[in-house]
Structure 1
Amino acid sequence: MAALDLFGRRWSLRVMWELRQGPTGFRPLQQRCDGMSSSVLRQRLVELTEAGLVTQRGTSDYTLTDLGEDACRALGPLARWAEGWADALAEPQPGRRASTEDHV
């Protein structure tokens, strides 16, 4: 359950998802995460580092550890499901009320 608690914290999964592309500095990571506040990003990086999922290389770049990479691979099926879900929601469904966006 500790993993669910950690991953359930706002921005934790997003930070890990962005780091899957490789080592990233604090500011570029903050930009990739839609400009989240620096205090929240710093807190999530501390938590993910303490959990052994992220490490800081030198004084600037953050990267996933082997455990962090394993976690991202485990999240792959969920990401694929979420893409299909988003596509399904975008399609008109029988019995579903049309929103104003459906008419644009």
Structure 2
Amino acid sequence: MAKQADSKTRSVRGSRTGRPIMVLLDLLGRRWSLRILWELRGEPLTSRALRTACDDASPTVLQARLTELREAGFVELEEGGGYGLTALGRELCETFMPLHRFAERWRSSSPSPRLRGEGRGEGGPPRRR
């Protein structure tokens, strides 16, 4: 039988145990979370620049994700007013780099134009069904 989460631990989607990997995957699986981390990997960005980099994501959703990422210790508000990655946030982004390299190789070898991103531009919004 699985251990129940500590009463102080907030329950997360997909896990009643509060296991760290499930908490992390829940956070990173939320809309725009990974994109925000990815866009901040190079340098801090203001809210406006980050919103532009995130294809004009809703300001409400963007602020909600920034708040969650700040609470998680991955993002911090810089003295100049922009958002940047913390040391922990940079470490997390580094763990994505092998996956990023793999994705680039996979995309170039994929026989599917849809999976290569053709026909809608890179980073474009998904087509509505």
Residue number among 84, 89, 103 corresponding to 2:110 in the alignment: 89
Gaps of 5+ in 2: 1-21, 114-118, 120-129
Confirm whether residue 18 of structure 1 aligns to residue 39 of structure 2. Answer: yes
Structure 2: distance between partners of 1:91 and 1:43: 35
Instruction: Give the 4+ runs in structure 1 shifted more than 3 A.
Output: none
**Larger helix fraction of residues:** 1
How far apart are 1:91 and its partner, in Å?
A: 7.2
Structure 2: distance between partners of 1:12 and 1:87: 25
Map 1:1-16 → 2, pairs under 5 A: 1-16=22-37
Q: Percent identity?
A: 47
1:75 aligned partner? 96
Q: Secondary structure at the match of 1:63?
A: strand
**What do the CA deviations read for 1:36-92 (whole angstroms, capped 9, x no partner)?**
110111011000000000000136210000000000000101111111121112579
1:38 aligned partner? 59
RMSD: 1.7
Normalising by structure 1, we get a TM-score of: 0.83
Normalising by structure 2, we get a TM-score of: 0.67
How far apart are 1:10 and its partner, in Å?
A: 1.2
Between 1 and 2, higher relative CO (CA 8 Å, sep ≥ 6) is seen in 1
Gaps of 5+ in 1: 93-100
Q: Secondary structure at the match of 2:110?
A: helix
Structure 2: distance between partners of 1:23 and 1:54: 10
Residue number among 48, 52, 58 corresponding to 2:79 in the alignment: 58
Count residues with an aligned counterpart.
93
